[in-house]
Amino acid sequence: MDNKLVILGPQGCGKGTQAQMLAQSLGLVHISLGDILRWHIEQHTKIGTRVEGCVAAGELVPDDLVDDLMKYRLALHDWNYGFILDGFPRNTAQTQFLLESYQLDASILLDVGEAILLERLAGRRLCSGCGRDYNLASRPPVVPDRCDSCGSTLAPRPDDAPEIVRRRLRDYGEKTRPVLDLLGKRTHVLVVDASRSPQEVQDEIRKRLGLPAAASASDSRVMGSLL
């Protein structure tokens, strides 16, 4: 089974949701660089202080720091287990670093148009306490503006503001698309239409990776909680 995966796509395409669905039902580790960076910011580490401005402005943080963080995170990983990298690599230099050092099986690109992305991002909310992700349209909290897990208040992500999103999408087009050419030389690349429901997107990814199509009862519970 392909179990060293990369998932790519523009902000708001559903990378995190799809990565978690694959990870939880297939026993893969979900490694999100965005989550790692947000953890550093929340914990007031030196790295957090260094990247806070970049992340809030929706700019890519410097490659040397990204490479160090990913090298450290991947060195911790037990290579007998699969993983899915979410949000990394995002430019040519990061891709070269990744491919020089590690063997991957497949890359998944989630493809969605700008209008749908802007609509989805307008409803995205993040818990200020535990970082859990919500969407007011598709995954709202039980109590408005309160996290179901820890009760803290929900807030929009600063980098989801429309003017920042437009710049991130331009950045994505320029920097991330060439990543696919490089990944395509060393891994199987699937381009998946991600404008559909999370379950439909997940079904197509599984089908095209040759993974079991039908979710088990426990898979359904996991997926249900994510939709």
Binding site for ligand AMP (CB under 6 A): 11, 33-34, 37, 54-55, 58-61, 66, 87-88, 90, 94, 159
Per-residue exposure over 14-42, b if at least 16 CB sit within 10 Å of its own CB, e if not: bbbbbbbbbbbbbebebbbbbebbbebbe
73 is catalytic: no
**Maximum CA pair distance of the chain?**
47
Least distance from ligand AMP to the Cβ atom of residue 215, Å:
26
Q: Which residue out of 15, 38, 120, 206 is catalytically annotated?
A: 15
Complex with ligand AMP: residue 3 or 95, whichever CB lies closer: 95
Q: CB nearer to ligand AMP: give 4 or 90.
A: 90
| Active-site entry in 38, 120, 124, 206 | 124
Q: Which of 38, 125, 157, 206 is catalytic?
A: 157
Burial class (CB in 10 A: 0-12, 13-18, 19+), 76: exposed
Peptide bond into 212 cis (omega under 30): no
Catalytic residue list contains 157: yes
Q: Whole-angstrom Cα distance, residue 10 to residue 106? A: 18
Q: Is 90 a catalytic residue?
A: yes
Is residue 168 among the annotated active site residues? yes
CB-nearer residue toward ligand AMP: 129 or 131: 131
The residue of the chain with the least Cβ separation from ligand AMP equals 34
SS3 214: coil
Q: Of 4, 120, 125, 168, which residue is the catalytic one?
A: 168
Helix-helix angle 162-171:114-122, to 10 degrees: 140
Instruction: Indicate if 175 belongs to the active site.
Output: no
- Residues assigned a catalytic role: 15, 90, 124, 157, 168
